[in-house]
Amino acid sequence: MPTPGNHASAAVPPYRPPRLFTGYGTLDAALTVWYSACDKSGPPHWEDLADLIWRPWVMNLLMVESRHRMKPARCAQALPVATALLGLPMWFAGALPLDNPPTAALAEMVRVVCMRRRPVSRLAPARPTPGDSGSRLQVVGMPLAPIAGAPSVVPYRLERVLFALVRASPPPTPPP
């Protein structure tokens, strides 16, 4: 019987996030790889996914780090298709600009994914382009294992989220 202060005998349930499928091949491939890399202790580390990632959908990935919920999310690794869809420079790194609607939506999703510790799928505004009326991005955020640093070096827990994104298909037009 567990006693107060004695947590050694308390069992932690295995990590089993509910399955999420979006209907977009690129996003579902990323989710399948993420689920296969999860273990009973929690989400995978970025390094655990390195050997499992293949082209072409890897180009749609963006890894974002959060040092604290009150600080801006920081892009740690971005690949070309993701940066083009978000309207960022190729190979962008740094704080996600909050004056850009798609990156502002991702910054908010980082908080949600980190709190839930499971994949989250959302529609986000796409970067405005001339002649484009209301295009959106389909985004899936998958939590990665947090990185805890030595308190003297890193006094916070670094949370990471791996985003996969594609341009959402327009809704089908109803027949006349």
Report pLDDT digits (tens) over 40-82: 889 998 888 877 776 666 788 899 998 776 778 899 988 888 9
**45 or 9, higher pLDDT:** 45
User: Could you give the CA distance from residue 142 to residue 107 in angstroms, rounded to a whole number?
Assistant: 13
pLDDT at 171 over 80: no
pLDDT of residue 13: 79
User: Could you give the CA distance from residue 83 to residue 166 in angstroms, rounded to a whole number?
Assistant: 11
Q: Is residue 87 classed exposed, middle or buried when 0-12, 13-18 and 19+ CB atoms within 10 A define those classes?
A: middle
**80 or 154, higher pLDDT:** 80
37 phi, psi to nearest 5 deg: -90, -15
pLDDT of residue 135: 76
pLDDT at 141 over 60: yes
Which CATH code is given to the segment(s) 25-167? 3.30.450.20
pLDDT of residue 68: 73
Report which of 137, 131, 123 is spatially closest to residue 167, judged by C-alpha positions. Answer: 137
What are the residue boundaries of the structural domains of the chain, listed by start?
Answer: 25-167
pTM over 0.85: no
The amino acid that residue 29 corresponds to is A
Report which of 159, 164, 171 is spatially closest to residue 120, judged by C-alpha positions. Answer: 164
pLDDT of residue 1: 47
State the average pLDDT over residues 10-20.
Answer: 79
User: Could you give the CA distance from residue 135 to residue 10 in angstroms, rounded to a whole number?
Assistant: 49
